[in-house]
Structure formats: C-alpha cells, structure tokens
Structure 1
Amino acid sequence: MTPASPDRPRSTGTDGDGAVEIVEYTDPACPWAWGSEPAFRLLRALTAGRARWRRVFGILFDEDDDPAPDPAAETAWYGRYIADIARHTRAPYARRLRWVAATSRPASLAAKAAERQGATAAERVLRRLRETTFVLGTPADTAERVRAALTGLDGVDVARLGAETGEPSVVAAVRRDHAEARDPVPEASAFHAPGPHGTGVKETDSGVRYALPTLVFSGPGGRVATPGWRSMAEYTAALRTVAPHHRWEPTPIDAEAALAEYRSLTGPDLSLLTGGTTPPRTAVRVETAGGPLWLHPDEAATHPVLMTRTS
C-alpha cells in the first residue's frame, strides 16, 4: 500500500455521503483479477451505500497485438502461468486452456454495456465472462463467444446487452477506460511490495499502465493505491486511511445467502464471505484443476461449463 496523497480523486461523483471513491482497474481475462474477486466482493459489500465503486477496463489483450508465432506453445505457456498464479490466489483454473484470448475488448464491451442494467447484471456478466477463461479454458474473445457464454444468464437481458454492446457510447466508454488505465496516478507508479505482484505499473509498447487489478481509494484522508493481488487487511487499511471516521468491519454471511447473492462461489469466496469452508447445501459442484466451483442451481442451468459437459 502506498502512502496516502492529499490529492482529491480524479472523479468526484460518489454514492453514500460523498466521502469515498474506489476505482477498480481490471480486465475480464486477467488471472490476478480473477483471484482478487473474493476480496473485491467483500469490499463491495462492506462499502455499499458509503462509497462509489467505478470499474475501468484496462484491455489486457488488444485487437492490434501481434499474433503469437506458435499459438500452441503460447497457450501451453500461458496455461502454466495461470496455474502458477492460482497457487498464490487459490482460485480455480481450467484443466486445459484451449487458447489465449486474442483480445479482451469484446468481453470488456459487454461488461461495460451490462452496467446499464444495474449492479447485479454487471457483476453476473463479468463473472460469467471471467469463468469462460478460468473454468472452461475457452476465453470469450469474440462477440459470438461472448453471446454464447451469456445465453440464458439469469437477471440479465442478454438481447438488450447484445444490442447495446456495439453502441457508440459504450465503445467510447471502453476507449476512455483503455486510456485511463494507461495514465496511472503517482501512488501507483511509486508502489513497491514483496511478492509476485510487487510493482504498481506495467510497461507497454507506448508507455505504462496500471498493474491489473489495481484499486485506487480516495476520500477525506487522501488517496491510496493498492495494485495487484493484495490481502483483505491491506484493502481495509486503505479504507481506514482515506476515510478514518467510518467503521470498516466486514460482516460474514451464511453460505446459502452468499450463493443466493453471488450465484457462483470459489473456495476463497466462501472463506472470505462466510468465514467458513462448508459449501452451500443447494449448490451444484463443478470440479476444476484448482479446486471446486459452486453454482446456484439457476446459474448451473445455463452455465456453459455444464452445458458443454452434457452436450
């Protein structure tokens, strides 16, 4: 965690009492972001009604990236890379990665468009799109694959989403996200920490971008950047720095309530959200190379990992 800066946030719109903003820099295909979801879910619950949470898509893989000279070798290497990261995050990962995402822009566009349908739809869409890579091993890297992955997703108007994904305003919003992710705040640039995700920015062909994921907290106490995969204790410390007059104490919920709320749970989700390890009784269990994923029955009914296995 970097020291708090007295600078005000770049974006001043907030929920709650207007005191706190959290900006999440992420990408649907980022394995570190996938591993950070349990902490981010708990943070969103902890700050609900007291902070504005804004998500920025950094586009980890872009359409104009040079293709790999040996796609099979690249896929094998990247599959091992995901498995290595999962050893740190304890996140599930696919038994076999079938290809590396050619681009994460189609998934980012869909996730951005889903925000128009509200927070629940936005979370379910992004989660399902992450799972195409990290549970199925088949990244949703085209508009067609995105549409197939989201078909039947409960609580989401998928037809509306498909129509709005290509709208100029959505395309422009993702373009702005791409630019913002390549203009990191000084606190991120100055960040250094031990471990496999110890720097706050990554070099690109044209400059630098935020390490993904990164949370930037802003409030009366200043601004704090927490790049990479960080502990829940580090995130709550950041909250206490930028908003010291709030109580930031997570409250566990029971496993069935977590399943009803989030529809898809990993082992780390279960641990952080419920404080225990007993899975929900009604959950549908899906095995992965990195441990089980538990799905709500309504989620399981249309989830591509189960549809693929039964087809």
Structure 2
Amino acid sequence: MTGAREPAPLEVVEYTDPLCPWAWGSEPVFRRLRAALDGRVHWRRVHAVLFDHDDDPAPDPAAETAWYARYVAGIAEQTRAPRAVPLSRVAASSWPASQVAKAAERQGTSVADRVLRRLRETVFVLGEPADTLASALDAARGVPGLDPARLAADAVHGSVVDAVRADRAEARAPLPEAFAPPGGSPHPGAAKETPDGAHRYALPTVVVRGADGHRVVPGWRPYEEYAAAVEALRPGLPRTPVPLGPDEALARHRSLTGPESAVLVRGAWPPLHAVRVETEGGPLWLHPDEAATHPALRPRVSPTG
C-alpha cells in the first residue's frame, strides 16, 4: 500500500519593482502573507522594470519630479506608507536596482528580502532613488550576511542581467484576468499599456499557481484577497500568522513602518530601543543594528565634497 501523494508545490509570483510606490505601500500585506505561508510555498519575485532604459527623457525634469512627488503623495494617502520629502528626482532606470535585487537572491532569502527593502527605502525614505549601479550597491551595504563583493560581481554578470531581462518579458505577458480586474481598490491593477503598444502587469500583481489552476490578484489589495487566492488552490494553507512582540518583530524585520507594526506586532509599539527615522508619511522604525548601516542615517556628502 502506498502513502498519499504529496500535493504539488504552490507558487506565489510577485510582480514588482524596487522603486514602485504601490509595491512599497503593499509591504505590510505581503510581509503578513509570507508569515502566513511560512515558507510552505515557492515565493518568486519578478522584477517588471517600471522605469525602463528606453523611456523618453522628460523635457522638464524639475516639473516631472514635482508631478511625480504629488503622485507618490496621493498613493501614500491610500496606503499610509512613509514617503520622502523632498524627492530629488524621478528614477532614471529600474535596471540597476532590479539587477542588485536579483543578484541578492543568490545569497539567500533573508539577504534578498533585506536588500530589496533597502532599495525601496532609497526612494520612499531617503528621496534618492537607487537608479545607478553604484547607488543600488551602496544601499545594500551593511545588510547582515551579505557578501558585498559577490553582490557587485553578480549584479553585472550576464546570467543576472539575463534573469532581469526574462523577468521584464514575463511581466509583459499578463494573463487575461489582469485586463479586467475587480474594483474595490484605489489601484485595481488593470494591465498597463507599454510605450511599444504591448501590456504589462500593474504593480504589484500576485499570481498564485498550483496543479489545479491559477489565481490573479492585481493592484493594491487587502490581505484577505491574497489569502483567498491561496485558499482556493490549497485549502487550509494560509494560517493566520501570530503577531510578534515588539522586540522580536523589530529583530526579525529590522525595518518597520507604522502600517506594518499594526498588522505584524502585538503589544506596545515601538520598543524603547527602536531608532526613529522621520518621513512626511510617518516614521520608519529601525533596529539599532540596522540603523548603524542604514543609508538614511549615514552622513550625507555634498556633490562638491
């Protein structure tokens, strides 16, 4: 007599970009979802390259930056995520940050998660998007367990560049459900038209795949919609995550916003040893070890030295 066959692994695909404001605002939900799934799925990030190499340059960069700052502020009103004021510029390219994020995956999940978080924080905490290879690598400096020399080499290696190129192509082949998403969200997540007349997933979009089909959850959505998509393909899989105490949560995540602490933490927040970083949209709280190397707290060097 043979035992019951193990169910096929479930895959959760997160279409994202390190510099996307809606993806930044979705961090509380995605962190909670990963805790609920607790490593029992294959979670894969696809970097969609929001700011592409061949995008037309703005005729008036200052006006574009002012417009984009207002756009980010409007998103932050919905997500309650921190936002930087001032924003120095609109990112010139997502390629450097995407390459660094993809390269960090070679050093393990915890390193990759932390590096991606730092890249997001360059825009929405510092106001200085990591849109060059040097600035993206610098943002990752000091992440625990990171080998910076390996990261720098991997980020420009042909296999990593090809992987980002493949991510970009995958994001530009959206499933039919992405074209007619349900309402009920200020960012319902309909597929976006690209300059060449094609389409890509709106960011963020999550696709859950299993042996019995797939589910698409586009745009900015509540936790329950993601959990329902997983439940539909693997009943009983999402388990309600147990919130952590303040000290444990800060030690695990190292960086927490107000909206994140509301869903990930039980007990009085913040802990006494947390380091507060002010932003226009509310504080970011850092573990002291994180604060010691975080770019938001490093001395700023002027362009003239």
Shift of 1:256: 1.1
Shift of 1:275: 4.5
Shift of 1:241: 1.2
Contact 2:12-2:207 at 8 Å conserved across structures: yes
Shift of 1:250: 2.1
Residues 1:111 and 2:101 are matched in the alignment: yes
| Structure 1 equivalent of residue 92 of structure 2 | 102
Q: 4+ runs of 1 displaced by more than 4 Å?
A: none
| Structure 2 equivalent of residue 34 of structure 1 | 24
Give TM-score scaled by structure 1 length: 0.91
Q: How does 1:1-311 map to 2 (within 5 A)?
A: 18-206=8-196, 207-246=198-237, 248-275=239-266, 278-308=269-299
Distance 1:248 1:219 in 2: 18
Distance 1:130 1:49 in 2: 23
Contact 1:46-1:249 at 8 Å conserved across structures: yes
Change (3 A) 1:49 1:154: closer
Distance 1:277 1:84 in 2: 29
Q: State the one-letter code of the partner of 2:224.
A: A
Shift of 1:247: 5.0
Shift of 1:309: 5.8
Distance 1:147 1:247 in 2: 35
Deviates more, 1:271-280 or 1:26-35: 271-280
Distance 1:39 1:195 in 2: 14
Contact 2:111-2:143 at 8 Å conserved across structures: no
Give TM-score scaled by structure 2 length: 0.93
- Root-mean-square deviation (CA, aligned residues, Å) is 1.7
Deviates more, 1:176-185 or 1:237-246: 237-246
Deviates more, 1:241-250 or 1:141-150: 241-250
Distance 1:146 1:246 in 2: 35
Aligned length: 296
Distance 2:301 2:269 in 1: 27
Q: State the one-letter code of the partner of 1:112.
A: K
Q: State the one-letter code of the partner of 2:179.
A: S
Deviates more, 1:274-283 or 1:126-135: 274-283
Shift of 1:274: 1.4
| Secondary structure of the structure 1 residue equivalent to 2:26 | helix
| Secondary structure of the structure 2 residue equivalent to 1:56 | strand
Shift of 1:277: 6.0
Distance 1:179 1:21 in 2: 19
Gaps of 5+ in 2: 1-5
Deviates more, 1:111-120 or 1:44-53: 44-53
Distance 1:190 1:272 in 2: 29
Gaps of 5+ in 1: 1-15
| Secondary structure of the structure 2 residue equivalent to 1:198 | coil
Distance 1:277 1:218 in 2: 38
Sequence identity percentage = 59
Contact 1:271-1:277 at 8 Å conserved across structures: no
| Secondary structure of the structure 2 residue equivalent to 1:126 | helix
